[in-house]
Amino acid sequence: MHRGTRMAPVVLVAVLLVLWELIARLSLLPRPEFPTMTGTAVELVRLLGTSQPWLASAQTLQAWALGMVIAIVLAVPVGIAVGTNRMLYRSVRLVIEFLRPVPSVALIPLAILIAGAGLTSKVGLAVFGAFWPLLLQCYYGMQDLDPVAEDTARSFGLGRFARFRHVALPSAVPYIATGARIASAIVLTVVVSAEIVIGAPGLGREVFVAQTSGAYETTYAITFLIGMLAWGLNVGVSAAERRVLHWHPSQRPVEA
Amino acid sequence: MSRRRSRSGLALALELAVPLALLGAWALWSSRSTSFFNPPLTDILDTFAETWIFERIPTDLAPSLARLLIGYALAACAGVALGLMLGSSPLAQRACAPLVEFSRAIPAPALIPIAITLIGIGNDMKVTLIAFVCFFPVLLNTIDGVSGIDPTLRATVQAYGLTRRERILRVVLPAASPQIFAGLRVSLSIGLLVMVVSEMVASTSGVGYFVLQAQQSFRIEDMWAGILMLGLLGYVLNGLFLLVEARVLAWHRGARASATADTT
Amino acid sequence: MTILEVEHLRKTYGEGPRATHAVGDLSFSVSSGEFVCIVGPSGCGKSTLLKCMSGLLPASSGEVRLAGRRITGPPPAMALVFQEYGRSLFPWMSVRDNVLLPLRHKGLSKDEQRRLVTDSIDEVGLTRFGDHYPWQLSGGMQQRVAIARALAYQPEVLLMDEPFASVDAQTRSDLEDLILNVRDRYGVTVVFVTHDIDESVYLADRIVVLTPAPTEVKETLTVDLPSPRDQVATKELPEFAHLRAHTYRLIMRPSDHEDPVGATAGAVAHGSPK
Ligand SMILES: Nc1ncnc2c1ncn2[C@@H]1O[C@H](COP(=O)(O)OP(=O)(O)OP(=O)(O)O)[C@@H](O)[C@H]1O
Ligand SMILES: [Mg+2]
């Protein structure tokens, strides 16, 4: 690869960081709450030396993991059932279509009433948000079964269950994996939203508390941490998806 | 044949009966419940009618919608325009990749505190933030769509010497439109989410503000009415989006259907 | 009069150890109004050659000249029908709009544009399908849309890359006659790539036979068959059979350079390179 293209992102980030520092130092923004880049970096290093951001990250991650597991355990079987049984699909179609676009954060007040300001609320809201897209992906996966594959299996005398196990399920796996990737982003977003609004412990609460108490360097530093956490999760989930799908055509390298 | 017809009749009946049965069950359950957060469904619906027809439309619904739609429209225009530019420039694309990846990954509501420090808690903040978070899905999908245009199609455009304007308006934009719409759809739900959360934590108007206020002052029917309103908002906006998409992408569905028909 | 000249054209894809030498060293020329067929085994670089000739790909060395001018980009006097015709049509446009698109910037009046579009769609026999979308048509019909688009563009040189490779036999003969007819009426120069030997002999004034990659010109044959050609009568001529056999041997037995039997009847070998 060309050296210039490899350096381009580094150069761009460096330029933006210097620009940030200049804008803050010269007070080019009308608001005084804009910290310097160097101040934020120092604060970030200081924070990482304390236990506070690590604990908060662990709390956020815990809610994320619980949300993912519960959403998958609930949505995948339902999605497969709905995808294989036409009658079942028809009877729940309207319910799904109405509930899916409902923003899960709208239920935050209800969650506070029922489950208080803790882990349960965060996870419950996240599961509601991630359930629908996951369910629909499973449904699409079961629908997209190649009729030729199905007929081939039938012509070899495979029974209903064997066909499901060896044909339908493997061909739905790419969809389920995509669903999991979508769900991961939703779960994290809803968890952080709940932490901000409800004040449930986690990175969302930390960043909001920092802002309301006027610790602007800390606000920026924690936002950066949240970004890194989200980015890391993204990379991890995509890597897991690739591992699961190594056999799938979409994963083969394209010849340039 | 008649068996099939009776089955499809049954399916239609189920399709309508199940939601109605669920509503009925909720109504019955809530009318017997003594729990204070589970008021009778009829009370909720009464409150919904009182609140939203039309008393709070100008004070809460209109501001919410305006924030969302203005921010969304800004993001759509900027995302498509920048996506068209980046999509045809691999160097710029590579340069921006880490920044864009980072900005896309960060959960949108986590940016609310920074937005407050930069812009305050007014309308500007919400519109800007909604525009910012809606921008990235549109941008990334537009880039994807533009750089994924079939090489033969690109060569055709060159061979017939189309002008720049023709190329962008008549070829690149339509060719990328399926991906652009996919991005716009993701953006719509993120925009709605940020609208609600930002109204909950930093606002004195809007449906999100109304719902959280109602809960904190234990006006439970009001809270439910607000939740219903948000659900309805999500449903209607999504429905409108799908209508537009179906119109604009009619060719795409046809082309895809005939492509799959060919391979089977 | 020579209109197209290909001189020591070379094209290499990629660099270093993974490089593919698609076109070795090609030189030939095409006269104005001539119908030249280019035949060669699959993968020998025919599509690459056409892309270089149409200015879509830069040559690695050597050059292509159109009317004496070196080609650096797609010239307006040239139209190209792609091998992947289905993918060269715009699926969001109707057949009419697909044909119309390249005409929009040619400075023609609206009436003139409309006339050209209608005429060329009629010409390929798709009169009733103007408002259909490409994906609603069969493969052969899609290919006819691509041809109509090239015809409406009114090029001086028409480059066609295996245009009939995936249509049924009947449509294929119809399209072959259509192209010959167009050439006779408008005097277009046609460079036609194919790997079908019958087709090349039937259509061409001259056949350029290529070697496997890295490609060079193996032999150039003049086809002295009477014009206008006829699907039955022409193919019954003994000259047709001889030319066909000769070309066949050239392609199938790459080591056998001299083939005195085939070269005698009807074919005039213009000398193999080197
Ligand atoms: N974009 C490309 N990058 C790298 N190699 C290429 C590219 N296009 C073609 N090639 C290689 O160049 C050689 C010639 O390809 P080309 O498509 O020109 O052959 P062709 O004669 O048209 O074949 P066919 O008769 O199958 O259409 C092949 O070995 C092919 O692998
Ligand atoms: Mg080819």
* Any B CB within 8 A of A246 CB: no
- The pLDDT tens digits of the residues spanning B197-211 come to 999 999 989 999 999
H-run or E-run covering B162: none
Q: What is the pLDDT of residue B81?
A: 95
Residue B47, phi-psi category: left (phi > 0), alpha (psi -120 to 50), beta (remainder): alpha
Q: Ligand 1 centre and the CA of C20: distance in Å?
A: 9
- The pLDDT tens digits of the residues spanning C157-170 come to 999 999 888 778 88
In sequence order, what DSSP letters do the residues of C172-234 get, joined into one string?
Answer: HHHHHHHHHHHHHHH--EEEEEES-HHHHHHH-SEEEEEPSSSEEEEEEEEE---SS--TTHH
Q: What is the pLDDT of residue C260?
A: 44
Q: Ligand 2 centre and the CA of C87: distance in Å?
A: 14
Which of A40-49, B252-261, C37-46: highest mean pLDDT? A40-49
Q: Taking Cα atoms as reference points, which of C20, B21, B30, B254 lies closest to residue A95?
A: B21
pLDDT band at B4 (very low <50, low <70, confident <90, very high): low
Residue in chain B nearest A11 by alpha carbon: B95
Segment C54-65 shows an average pLDDT of: 91
Out of A231-235, B89-93, B191-195, C166-170, least confident range: C166-170
Q: What is the pLDDT of residue A84?
A: 84
Are B196 and B207 in contact by the 8 Å Cβ rule? The answer is yes
* Any B CB within 8 A of C135 CB: yes
**Tokens standing for residue C159:** 């480059």
> Does the beta carbon of C39 sit less than 6 angstroms from any atom of ligand 1?
no
Which of A86-90, A140-144, A195-199: highest mean pLDDT? A195-199
* Any C CB within 8 A of B107 CB: no
Segment B72-88 shows an average pLDDT of: 94
CB atoms near residue A18 (< 10 Å)? 11
Are C10 and C24 in contact by the 8 Å Cβ rule? The answer is yes
Complex ipTM, two decimals? 0.90
Segment C102-123 shows an average pLDDT of: 91
| Residue C261 in this model has a pLDDT that exceeds 70 | no
Report the DSSP beta bridge partners of residue C221. C207, C269
**Please, what are the domains in chain C?**
2-77+155-221 (3.40.50.300)
Phi and psi (nearest 5°) for C222?
Answer: -95, 130
Segment C116-139 shows an average pLDDT of: 92
Q: Are strands C35-39 and C189-194 parallel, antiparallel or unpaired?
A: parallel
Out of C39, C46, C166, give the residue to mutate to test ligand 1, the one with the largest number of ligand atoms within 8 Å of its CB: C46
* Any B CB within 8 A of C84 CB: yes
* Any B CB within 8 A of A102 CB: yes
CB atoms near residue C65 (< 10 Å)? 15
Rounded alpha-carbon distances, angstroms, from residue B23 to B14, B30, B46: 14, 10, 15
Residue owning tokens 């029917």:
B221
| Residue A2 in this model has a pLDDT that exceeds 80 | no
> What's domain A37-251's architecture?
Orthogonal Bundle (1.10)
Out of A158-162, B218-222, C111-115, least confident range: A158-162
Task: Between A74 and A245, name the one with better pLDDT.
Answer: A74
Give the side-chain half-sphere CA count within 13 A for B115: 25
In sequence order, what DSSP letters do the residues of A24-63 get, joined into one string?
Answer: HHTT-SS-TT---HHHHHHHHHHHHHSSHHHHHHHHHHHH
> Does the beta carbon of C45 sit less than 6 angstroms from any atom of ligand 1?
yes
Distance CA A181, CA A241 (A): 8
In sequence order, what DSSP letters do the residues of B107-121 get, joined into one string?
Answer: -GGGGHHHHHHHH-S
Q: Cα A229 from chain centroid?
A: 11
- The pLDDT tens digits of the residues spanning B132-170 come to 999 999 999 999 999 889 889 999 998 998 888 899 999
* Residues 6+ away with beta carbon under 8 Å from C134: B255, C86, C89, C90, C91, C93, C95, C98, C142, C145
Q: Average pLDDT over chain B, rounded to whole?
A: 90
Q: Which 3 state secondary structure label does DSSP give A237? A: helix
CB contact under 8 A, B252 and C91: yes
- 0.80 surpassed by pTM: yes
Residue owning tokens 């000398």:
C271
Segment C78-100 shows an average pLDDT of: 89
Number of the ligand 1 atom closest to the C-alpha atom of C215:
14
**Tokens standing for residue C116:** 């050209």
Residue owning tokens 């200049």:
A22
Number of the ligand 1 atom closest to the C-alpha atom of C40:
21
**Percent of chain A surpassing pLDDT 90:** 59
| Residue C75 in this model has a pLDDT that exceeds 70 | yes
Mind telling me how many Å the CA of A161 is from chain B's nearest CA? 24
Distance CA C96, CA C113 (A): 11
Are A168 and A144 in contact by the 8 Å Cβ rule? The answer is no
CB atoms near residue C140 (< 10 Å)? 17
Rounded alpha-carbon distances, angstroms, from residue C47 to A28, C3, C53, C251: 58, 20, 10, 17
Q: Taking Cα atoms as reference points, which of C98, C94, C100 lies closest to residue C117?
A: C100
Closest residue by CA, ligand 1 atom 1: C13
Q: What is the pLDDT of residue A149?
A: 73
> What's domain B45-256's architecture?
Orthogonal Bundle (1.10)
| Residue C236 in this model has a pLDDT that exceeds 80 | yes
Q: What is the pLDDT of residue A165?
A: 77
Number of H helices and E strands in chain C, helices first, is 10, 11
Q: Ligand 1 centre and the CA of B152: distance in Å?
A: 14
Task: Between C48 and B35, name the one with better pLDDT.
Answer: C48
Q: What is the pLDDT of residue A72?
A: 94
Mind telling me how many Å the CA of A178 is from chain B's nearest CA? 14
- The pLDDT tens digits of the residues spanning B90-120 come to 888 888 888 888 998 999 999 999 999 999 8
Which DSSP category does C125 fall into? T
| Residue A157 in this model has a pLDDT that exceeds 80 | no
CB contact under 8 A, B105 and A234: yes
pLDDT band at C62 (very low <50, low <70, confident <90, very high): very high
Nearest to A196 among B94, B201, B214 (CB): B201
Q: What is the pLDDT of residue C61?
A: 92
* Residues 6+ away with beta carbon under 8 Å from B6: none
Q: Are strands C189-194 and C206-210 parallel, antiparallel or unpaired?
A: unpaired
pLDDT band at B264 (very low <50, low <70, confident <90, very high): very low
CB atoms near residue B25 (< 10 Å)? 11
Residue B92 sits at the vertex; the CA angle it makes with B91 and B96, to the nearest 5 degrees, is 120
Out of A251-255, B199-203, B237-241, C36-40, least confident range: A251-255
Residue C228, phi-psi category: left (phi > 0), alpha (psi -120 to 50), beta (remainder): beta
Residue in chain A nearest B240 by alpha carbon: A101
CB atoms near residue A10 (< 10 Å)? 11
Q: Cα C208 from chain centroid?
A: 11
Segment B176-188 shows an average pLDDT of: 95
| Residue C145 in this model has a pLDDT that exceeds 90 | yes
pLDDT band at A3 (very low <50, low <70, confident <90, very high): low
CB contact under 8 A, B171 and C91: no
* Any C CB within 8 A of B252 CB: yes
pLDDT band at A4 (very low <50, low <70, confident <90, very high): low
**Is the CA virtual torsion B208, B212, B213, B215 positive or negative?**
positive
Mind telling me how many Å the CA of A156 is from chain B's nearest CA? 19
Q: Taking Cα atoms as reference points, which of A223, A205, A192 lies closest to residue B111?
A: A223
Sequence ranges of the domains in chain A: 1-34, 37-251
- The pLDDT tens digits of the residues spanning A176-230 come to 898 999 999 999 999 999 999 999 999 999 999 999 999 999 999 999 999 999 9
Q: Which 3 state secondary structure label does DSSP give B264? A: coil
Q: Residues A23-39, buried b or exposed e (16+ Cβ, 10 A)? A: ebeeeeeeeeebbbbee
Out of C10, C47, C85, C210, give the residue to mutate to test ligand 1, the one with the largest number of ligand atoms within 8 Å of its CB: C47
Residue owning tokens 């009317």:
C67
Q: Ligand 2 centre and the CA of C19: distance in Å?
A: 18
Residue A13 sits at the vertex; the CA angle it makes with A12 and A16, to the nearest 5 degrees, is 85
**Percent of chain C surpassing pLDDT 70:** 92
pLDDT band at C258 (very low <50, low <70, confident <90, very high): very low
Mind telling me how many Å the CA of A253 is from chain B's nearest CA? 15
Q: Taking Cα atoms as reference points, which of A6, A13, A43 lies closest to residue A225?
A: A43
Out of C9, C11, C13, give the residue to mutate to test ligand 1, the one with the largest number of ligand atoms within 8 Å of its CB: C13
**Termini Cα distance of chain A:** 13
Q: Which 3 state secondary structure label does DSSP give C132? A: coil
Nearest to A147 among B22, B116, B264 (CB): B264
**Tokens standing for residue A21:** 């520092």
pLDDT band at B5 (very low <50, low <70, confident <90, very high): low
Q: What is the pLDDT of residue C272?
A: 41
Q: Average pLDDT over chain A, rounded to whole?
A: 88
Closest residue by CA, ligand 1 atom 25: C42
